[in-house]
Amino acid sequence: MLIILAIALLLLLPSPWSFVGFFVVFGLWLVELLLWNRTVKHRRKAVGAQTLIGREAVVSAPCRPIGQVRLDGEIWAARCNAGASPGDRVRVIGRERLMLVVEAAA
C-alpha cells in the first residue's frame, strides 16, 4: 500500500516535493518490508504428516483393519483396529510411516 502512495505522490505533487515525498514513503515501505520479513522468518512451519494428528477424516475404503481415508482432498492409507465402513468419520490418533492410525470419531 505504501508503494502505491509513493507513486501517487510522485505523480501528483509539484516538482521538488514529489521526489521528497516519494523517497520518504519509499523508505518507509522498505522498513516495513524488512520488519515483516524478520517476523515471518522465525515462525515454525506447520507441514508434514504429524500435522494431521487430531484431525477428522472420512473413510473411503473399508478399514478392517487396513483401508483408506480422505483428509483435505487427499487419500491416505489408514489402519483402524476397531474397523470402519466407507462414509464413517474417524479421528487420526497417530501415524506409522505413511499410514495413518485412526479410531472412530466420537
pLDDT of residue 67: 96
What DSSP character marks residue 106?
Answer: -
pLDDT of residue 43: 79
Total length of the chain: 106
Please, how many CA atoms are within 13 Å of residue 97, restricted to the half-sphere of its CB? Answer: 1
Residue ranges of the chain with per-residue pLDDT less than 50: none
Look at the pTM and tell me if it is higher than 0.75: no
Q: How far apart are CA 68 and CA 66, in angstroms?
A: 7
Q: How far apart are CA 66 and CA 106, in angstroms?
A: 20
Degrees to nearest 5, angle at CA 105 with 72 and 44: 45
pLDDT of residue 7: 86
| R_g (Cα) of the chain, nearest Å | 26
pLDDT of residue 47: 75
Q: Give the three cell numbers for residue 102.
A: 485412526
